Amino acid sequence: MSDTANNWVDVSKNDNGKYFAEIGKETFDVELKVSIADGRIVSATMDNPVTVLGRECADVGTAQCGDPQRYQIRREIELRPMP
């Protein structure tokens, strides 16, 4: 995983009418195995961690926010050929 600056931002409205503002670092590690004979993808994997700092806010401008919470989202995807 490379060390990069924050490159992920999201502001969304909650069901309770407040906003959740998040910022973080998202990276992708992808491995593709391709058949030399015909160029078809034999298999593929992707690891996509997102390190997030989020706060619930009273306004869409994110000026009135609560304490920050740190957490991680991780997507792991694997593709294999069907028999």
Report the pLDDT averaged over residues 38-56.
Answer: 95
Contact residues for 13 (Cβ-Cβ < 8 A; gap 6+):
19, 20, 60
Is the separation of the CB atoms in 61 and 44 below 8 Å?
A: no
Is the separation of the CB atoms in 50 and 25 below 8 Å?
A: yes
pTM, entire model: 0.74
Q: Would you say residue 63 has pLDDT above 70?
A: yes
Q: Tell me what the pLDDT averaged over the chain comes to.
A: 93
pLDDT of residue 73: 94
Q: Would you say residue 60 has pLDDT above 90?
A: yes
Q: Would you say residue 74 has pLDDT above 90?
A: yes
∠51-21-68 over CA atoms, to 5°? 65
